[in-house]
Amino acid sequence: MQTSQTTGVRPANSAQTNPAKNPILVLGGTGKTGQRVVKQLQALDWPLRVGSRSGHPPFDWLDTRTWKPCVEGIHSVYITFQPDLAVPGAVDAIRFFTKTALEAGVKKLVLLSGRGEKEAEACEQVVMQAGVDWTILRASWFCQNFSESVFLEPVQAGHLALPAGDIPEPFVDVDDIADVAVAALTEEGHNGQRYELTGPRMLTFKEASQEIGNAIGRVINYEQIPIGDYAAMLRSYHVPEDQVDLVVYLFTEVLDGRNASLTDGVQRALGRKPTDFATYVKKAAATGVWG
């Protein structure tokens, strides 16, 4: 069982929390942040519904008919959109989901957003203007992309080739995002807050690869490649064209230096410092994920 000390989250029965423990829907509840939010809410014995295509009832962003049954009887929703709030159609989806949720009686929305993405900001506005309580979590690139997502296989293979050079990124640990999400969902003190969530240190992708390599005692070669080569590589793996477009957008527009700064979002939300990349690497290495 997780404690408030290990999670950084105050217990549900403290101070200004919602004593009624009204039900929460966690969209993307099997994903990187969502599964951690679910775990913490379960530890708090909080009633919840896991939103996923394999949930009961199932939730699919591509099938609006699945949305109403999922929001019925729900008080608060943690919204993680797929694949990214920056893709065409995301604003309309968030608008329609918000409408569906409000019609079902939902009283609070907590949105996971991306830092430095104009389109994601439009989605934030939809949530902020919905007329119910809201909290926005605007996150930088996740540390866990190296251990639970797209960069895992290249790291395991010892060779990470990306179209990213000297621009540093303040990678954020998804455990921190989950802690903030749970606080926002279970405490009233976070209403109307937009938290920019970064780690405490900026690293280039090359430096991040080196830190992981040093921790596991292996060389992880980092190679900066042209964006066109990267897109061609993704296409050769039959990655759908809209996802190729998304990745190109993330590595060109979003990784242009606009996010190369640290923020105090984790400190403001939780009253503690964000997790350093080195601590994340230690945790991930201990799971044996990198071999």
Query: How many chain residues interact with ligand NAP (CB under 6 A)?
Result: 25
CB of 28 to ligand NAP, least distance (A): 4
Cα 187 from Cα 29, distance rounded (Å)? 20
Q: Which residue number, 12 or 91, has a Cβ lying nearer to ligand NAP?
A: 91
Q: Binder to ligand NAP among 59, 134, 151, 277 (CB under 6 A)? A: 59
> 183: exposed, middle or buried (C-beta count within 10 Å: 0-12, 13-18, 19+)?
buried
CB of 131 to ligand NAP, least distance (A): 23
CB of 197 to ligand NAP, least distance (A): 9
Per the DSSP assignment, residues forming a β-bridge with 142 are 172
Q: Binder to ligand NAP among 80, 98, 135, 147 (CB under 6 A)? A: 80
Q: Binder to ligand NAP among 9, 24, 25, 28 (CB under 6 A)? A: 28
CB of 191 to ligand NAP, least distance (A): 21
Indicate if the alpha-carbon torsion angle 17, 20, 24, 30 is positive or negative. Answer: positive
Q: Which residue number, 28 or 213, has a Cβ lying nearer to ligand NAP?
A: 28
| 26-29 contacts, C-beta under 8 A, 24 or more apart | 26/50, 26/51, 26/77, 26/78, 27/51, 27/52, 27/59, 27/77, 27/78, 27/79, 27/80, 27/81, 28/52, 28/78, 28/80, 28/81, 28/82, 28/112, 29/55
CB of 34 to ligand NAP, least distance (A): 5
Binding piece for ligand NAP, criterion CB under 6 A, among 36-44, 48-56, 181-189, 220-228: 48-56
Cα 70 from Cα 248, distance rounded (Å)? 33
Q: Binder to ligand NAP among 18, 42, 60, 262 (CB under 6 A)? A: 60
CB of 117 to ligand NAP, least distance (A): 8
Q: Which residue number, 12 or 247, has a Cβ lying nearer to ligand NAP?
A: 247
Per the DSSP assignment, residues forming a β-bridge with 50 are 26
**Does residue number 274 form part of the binding site for ligand NAP (CB under 6 A)?**
no
**Does residue number 170 form part of the binding site for ligand NAP (CB under 6 A)?**
no
For 36, the token pair is 């951690």
CB of 119 to ligand NAP, least distance (A): 10
The residue behind tokens 């061609």 is: 232
**Does residue number 82 form part of the binding site for ligand NAP (CB under 6 A)?**
yes
Q: Binder to ligand NAP among 46, 97, 134, 141 (CB under 6 A)? A: 141
Return residues touching ligand NAP (CB under 6 A).
28-34, 52-54, 59-62, 80-82, 84-85, 112, 114, 139, 141-142, 145
